[in-house]
Chains A and B, each alone.
Chain A
Amino acid sequence: GESVGLHLPTLSVQEGDNSIINCAYSNSASDYFIWYKQESGKGPQFIIDIRSNMDKRQGQRVTVLLNKTVKHLSLQIAATQPGDSAVYFCAETGSGGSNYKLTFGKGTLLTVNP
């Protein structure tokens, strides 16, 4: 069946460095791709999304890149801070009227070292 997966289960970076978290997806019909952040003891928090007809979208300190040729999604965090330590999930939506159906990846644990 369709699936969303993450290449790396853990990522450790130094404070101030840039972080890149990767994700592979298989459903080429998805309308949107989304990144969520989940801190310990909290629910997932929406970070940024990208529509399937876009290649890049920037937010505050974050950039999402979408490569539809190889079905790859990445989240770049600039100047990573200790508060960025969390599990990051990519998710893909259904298509058309099923956009609300999110399929999540397993998550990458980002640890920021001071």
Chain B
Amino acid sequence: ETGVTQTPRHLVMGMTNKKSLKCEQHLGHNAMYWYKQSAKKPLELMFVYSLEERVENNSVPSRFSPECPNSSHLFLHLHTLQPEDSALYLCASSQGLAVSQFFGPGTRLTVL
């Protein structure tokens, strides 16, 4: 594997389900990011981790819970989501907190 990978690529869940999104970076980076990309809205920064410590929570509802167990892996735990949370969730990484960020292909999430 190279670059930034995300699994699953597609996910459909009900509002009462609990699911997790996984991101793995193979670039030796030490900062990782979660972004949300909704239809007709700009890409929005959600969370930022640097050296496995959360440094940014961009006013994200508590039904989204990030986890960064090591510098290569990032998770986004989801529970009791709303239909408006349906979006493409993108993970990115960088060397240090940097301008140049490398994105994964995203997980397309649909909440029914």
Q: Which residues of A contact B (CB under 8 A)?
A: 4, 31-32, 34, 41-46, 49, 89, 91, 93, 97, 99-107
Contact = CB atoms under 8 A, between A and B. Distances in A.
B45 A101 contact: yes
B42 A34 contact: no
A46 B92 CA distance: 11
Interface stretch (B13-21, B69-77, B98-106): B98-106
Nearest to A31: B99
B99 A43 contact: no
A104 B90 CA distance: 13
A41 B33 CA distance: 19
Given A43-B92, A100-B48, A101-B56, A89 B43 contact: yes
B106 A43 contact: yes
A99 B99 contact: yes
A3 B103 CA distance: 22
A9 to B, nearest CB: 10
Nearest to B41: A106
Interface in B20-54: 31, 33, 40-45, 48
B56 A104 contact: no
Nearest to B108: A41
Given A100-B31, A102-B45, A104-B43, A41 B105 contact: yes
Contacts of B94: 100
A43 B4 contact: yes
Given A46-B102, A89-B42, A106-B41, 11 more contacts: A34-B99, A42-B105, A42-B106, A43-B105, A44-B43, A101-B48, A102-B99, A104-B43, A106-B40, A106-B42, A107-B42
